[in-house]
Amino acid sequence: MDKKKTKINTPQTVTSYINGEWVEPKKSTHQLPIIHPANEAEVSILYEADAKEVKTAAKAAKKTFESGLWSKASVDDRKAVLLAIRDLILENQEEIAELEVMNTGVPIAQVCGRQIPRSAMNFEFFAEFISQASSPVFDQNPDYITYVRREPVGVAGLIAPWNAPMALATMKVAGAIAFGNSCVLKPSELTPLGFIPFMNLLSKAGLPDGVVNMVNGRGGVTGAAMTQEEDIDLIAFTGGTETGRLIASEAGKTLKKTVTELGGKSANIIFSDADFERALDAALVAIFSNNGQQCLAGSRILVEKPIAKEFKKRFVERVHNLKIGDPYDKNTEIGPLISRNQNERVASFADAAEQSKNTNILCGGKRPKAFEKGYYFEPTVVESSDNQSAICQEEIFGPFATILEFEGIEEALQITNDSKFGLVSYVWSTDVRKIMKAQADIRAGVVWVNTPLMRELRAPFGGYKNSGIGRDGGEWSRNLFTEEKTVSIPLKDFPIAKLGER
Ligand code: TXE
């Protein structure tokens, strides 16, 4: 990494944060290198939390929860702390952003423009939400009043991914603590660095120690211990579909509430009556932002036949112009992938495309020669005539667009729904009837009409099919992070059967 471009000091060790204190690194602990994906340099060392340390974190969270200090704090007090966390994230955004870039390789313009503001917004959103939320009262029966209380569940286990570490983890942390829970957060073992300044700012914001605890380590060790831990009451997970399956079945053994937000292979349908230029711009944003590593990527671009030739030509021209480079450079549009593994995974799909007779690589497909080091991969565009091919069915999670042609809405919808995933979808058309049919028939949790990437925090977000179970956002996060308690109180004395009286 070019030192001149960053002002921060990288933390040399990453440990757990329990009850308001950093755990001292121990030589005997299993250690993992933290790698900067742009130059493969080891920038820090993670000291992995084992099952015992996870238990300590869960116990600290439970103790704080039971103390009532936070779980029974007034909504106004909680709101003030959440807003202070928002302010401190914004005050420290430069440091957090630079650490995120060091970990993820996502271009700094995108981290500063989208992910850090979104992290701050997550706290503001839930601060506002809790101050307005109400619960139903049932007074239809004149002899009783019955109402519903919303109470925090207890200790939330939050397992976060590496693609947008801070933005995705803070959605979970903000939701959990807004409703009074304590939590144990596990960032991805690839991307813990930004959470170091984040943890430090929580107590400055006035959050009591032990409300947010963090453990670090591999999924199979630290994450698995969380899903098995008796003192953790719920799991909110974002990550891969296979991991989601494992987590849900493990968490089921101790009957934890579980929400999983998993992968996608989302269709971006462009009809020939669409605003061509806007659809083109948006198709590029939907697949190439975040280095293509996002669950809501528009990775299958379905183009109607009359405009397909022109669309492919223009799309490929633009892809050739994308600026690949150092993620700390403000002009960079595509940085390196997260890891060697992810780079090899993406390359394997390009190799498969090269072998297949149903697919044709229009550009990219290789590691760019300009970079000796770093997990860079050329932005890749492949056309396919078979939606069953691996590049149309599997989540590739990289700068890799697949283009399919279709004739008419029926075929577009058939291809869209011919997928084991169902997270989001995009529809581009100026014909309201076509739009209305598409939004009704698409089997996915979100339909974006004539827009890319519109995340409305008030609305539910989550997937159909293998894209997950449950939703987050406003009311849906409240459902996850609270228990409902029904209270009935009689308004007058009424006769009670006198059992045992002779
Ligand atoms: O993610 P994992 P991986 C998809 C994407 C990617 C694939 C694999 O297609 O290519 O998943 O990525 C923790 N118990 N997405 O393998 O493993 C892990 O430590 C408990 C989609 O790197 O799912 C990390 O904190 N936890 C996606 C988190 O799970 C476990 C984002 C996610 O890592 C665990 C990322 C276990 N047994 C990848 N195993 C999205 N939906 O946005 C792992 N973890």
Q: Where are the domains of the chain?
A: 3-262+467-486, 267-449
What's the CATH fold of domain 3-262+467-486? Answer: Aldehyde Dehydrogenase; Chain A, domain 1 (3.40.605)
Atom of ligand 1 nearest to the CA of 159: 25
Taking the CB of residue 335, how many other CB atoms lie within 10 A of it?
29
For ligand 1, atom 4, the nearest C-alpha belongs to 240
Which of 228, 243, 259 to probe ligand 1 with, by most ligand atoms within 8 A of CB? 243
Asked whether 412 lines ligand 1 (CB < 6 A), one says no
Atom of ligand 1 nearest to the CA of 339: 22
- C-alpha 336 – ligand 1 centre gap (Å): 18
Is the beta carbon of 296 within 6 A of some atom in ligand 1?
no
Contact 334, 291 (CB under 8 A): yes
The answer, yes or no, to whether any atom of ligand 1 lies below 6 A from the CB of 160, is yes
Going by alpha carbons, the residue nearest to atom 20 of ligand 1 is 223
Q: Residue with structure tokens 């590049």?
A: 391
Closest to 104 (Cα-Cα) out of 334, 305, 269? 334
Q: Is the CB of 229 under 6 A from ligand 1?
A: no
- What pLDDT is attached to residue 3? 46
pLDDT of 6: 63
Rounded CA separation 377/445 (Å): 30
Q: Does ligand 1 come within 6 angstroms of the Cβ of 224? A: yes
pLDDT at 8: 74
Distances (CA, A) of 152 to 96, 175, 240, 323: 29, 11, 27, 46
Q: What secondary structure letter does DSSP report for 344?
A: H
Which residue's alpha carbon is at the smallest distance from atom 37 of ligand 1? Answer: 220
161 Cα: distance to centroid of ligand 1 (angstroms): 6
The SS3 assignment for 220 reads helix
Catalytic residues: 261, 295
Q: Is the CB of 186 under 6 A from ligand 1?
A: yes
Question: What span, in angstroms and rounded, lies between the C-alpha atoms of 33 and 350?
Answer: 28
The closest alpha carbon to 235, from 259, 214, 254, 263, belongs to 259
Ligand 1 centroid – CA 131 distance (Å): 34
Which three-class secondary structure string do you get for 158-201? EECCCCCHHHHHHHHHHHHHHCCCEEEEECCCCCCCCHHHHHHH
Q: Whose CA is nearest to atom 6 of ligand 1?
A: 240
How much distance in Å is there from the Cα of 262 to the middle of ligand 1?
A: 8
Strand duo 267-270 + 31-36: pairing = unpaired
Tens digits of pLDDT across the chain (502 residues): 444 456 678 999 999 999 999 999 999 999 999 999 999 999 999 999 999 999 999 999 999 999 999 999 999 999 999 999 999 999 999 999 999 999 999 999 999 999 999 999 999 999 999 999 999 999 999 999 999 999 999 999 999 999 999 999 999 999 999 999 999 999 999 999 999 999 999 999 999 999 999 999 999 999 999 999 999 999 999 999 999 999 999 999 999 999 999 999 999 999 999 999 999 999 999 999 999 999 999 999 999 999 999 999 999 999 999 999 999 999 999 999 999 999 999 999 999 999 999 999 999 999 999 999 999 999 999 999 999 999 999 999 999 999 999 999 999 999 999 999 999 999 999 999 999 999 999 999 999 999 999 999 999 999 999 999 999 999 999 999 999 999 999 999 999 999 999 8
Taking only the tens place, the pLDDT of each residue in 30-55 is 999 999 999 999 999 999 999 999 99
Q: Of all protein residues, whose CA lies closest to atom 24 belonging to ligand 1?
A: 188
CA–CA distance, 131 with 76 (Å, rounded to integer): 7
**Closest residue CA from atom 35 of ligand 1:** 239
247 lines ligand 1 (CB under 6 A): yes
Q: Is 261 in the pocket of ligand 1 (CB under 6 A)?
A: yes
CA of 375 to the centre of ligand 1 (A): 18
From the CA of 237, how far away is ligand 1's center (Å)? Answer: 9
Alpha-carbon distance 393 to 386, whole Å?
A: 10
Rg for the chain (alpha carbons), in Å? Answer: 24
**Ligand 1 centre and the CA of 245: distance in Å?**
11
The structure tokens listed for 269 are: 């349908």
Q: What is the pTM of this model?
A: 0.97
Q: In what order do the strands lie in the sheet with 400-406?
A: 359-363, 380-384, 400-406, 300-304, 267-270, 424-428, 446-449
Q: Is 188 in the pocket of ligand 1 (CB under 6 A)?
A: yes
pLDDT digits (tens, 9 = 90+) for 167-208: 999 999 999 999 999 999 999 999 999 999 999 999 999 999
164 lines ligand 1 (CB under 6 A): no
| Neighbour tally for 140: CB within 10 Å | 7
**Cβ of 398 less than 6 Å from ligand 1:** no
Atom of ligand 1 nearest to the CA of 342: 10
Task: Indicate if ligand 1 lies below 6 Å from the C-beta of 264.
Answer: no
> What's the gap in Å between 428 CA and the centre of ligand 1?
31
Fold of 267-449: Aldehyde Dehydrogenase; Chain A, domain 2 (3.40.309)
How far apart (Å, rounded) are the C-alpha atoms in residues 99 and 229?
30
